[in-house]
Structure 1
């Protein structure tokens, strides 16, 4: 069970509307229900504006999110994203596994994806990009995409802190880390 109790239905109309918008009518995730139990936290979380697609392709976005969550040992959010978006993002089993068990050097990645994963890894390990890492990223992604990558890494590190720190139980239909 979560360390902080989630909201239970029925939800306030405003919260229900936000859940419906984010979840597209599906029941809200435990993460959202727990965060929404604290009004200020929910307002700040939803104000981040990173719950939309942004300038990256779905595939690029999911690689960045999945790798960030894996590096933060956040099986909760990694599993939600893999179960929800991996197929639509055209991520194959080897790529899904590589987000957890390998790195940018895995044979399954394109050159642009290697640059993306290297950037995610660098941000996680050092909170910065070297000139070489930035140049490799800039060879494949424009400025808006680079901003989005950095923002996503920070946002999903925060999500990982929340899910791990609150010990959210894994969602029933979410994927599990590969053995």
Structure 2
């Protein structure tokens, strides 16, 4: 069990409606069940969560999320995203592995994806982007997309903190980190 108790079914109608909207018919994740039990935290989480599609293509969005979670050692969220979105994002087994192990150095990425991953890694390591990293991003992404990349990194760092600090058990159907 996590360190903070999750909501149990049946959920209040407004929470059930929110779960249905986010999960599209699948059972709610443990993270959502824990957060939804605390209205202020749940409202803030959903308000800043970037759970909508946003200006990035799914593949780029997932690369950002997967690498951010991997860098933060968050197998919980990484595994949920890989199991849910990797096929739709057309991530190969080599690329999935690279989000955890090699990152931007892996040969399996396009030039744009390497720039994307290098930005994720810089934000994780230094909390900023150098001129070269920003220029590389700018050559492949517009300003709305660059802001989305930065926001996704920050949000999924927070998600990683939550999942790890709350000691969330791994979701049953989620993928595990490669070894």
**TM bracket (short chain):** over 0.9
Q: How many residues align?
A: 179
| Alignment correspondent of 1:126 | 126
Q: Secondary structure at the match of 1:104?
A: helix
* Residues 103-148 of structure 1: per-residue CA shift (max 9 Å, x gap): 2121000000000000000000000000110000100000000000
Structure-2 separation of matches of 1:168 and 1:38: 16
Q: Quick check: 2:95–2:109 contact (8 Å CA) kept in 1?
A: yes
Q: CA deviation at 1:9?
A: 0.7
Q: How well do the aligned residues superpose, as a CA RMSD in angstroms?
A: 0.5
Q: Quick check: 2:49–2:155 contact (8 Å CA) kept in 1?
A: no
| Alignment correspondent of 2:115 | 115
Q: Quick check: 2:74–2:160 contact (8 Å CA) kept in 1?
A: yes
Structure-1 separation of matches of 2:126 and 2:15: 37
| Alignment correspondent of 1:46 | 46
- Ranges of 4+ aligned residues in structure 1 off by more than 6 Å: none
Q: CA deviation at 1:49?
A: 4.7
Structure 2 gaps, min length 5: none
| Alignment correspondent of 2:29 | 29
| Alignment correspondent of 1:139 | 139
Structure-2 separation of matches of 1:162 and 1:49: 13
Structure-2 separation of matches of 1:49 and 1:78: 16
Q: Secondary structure at the match of 1:151?
A: helix
| Alignment correspondent of 2:13 | 13
Structure-2 separation of matches of 1:22 and 1:124: 27
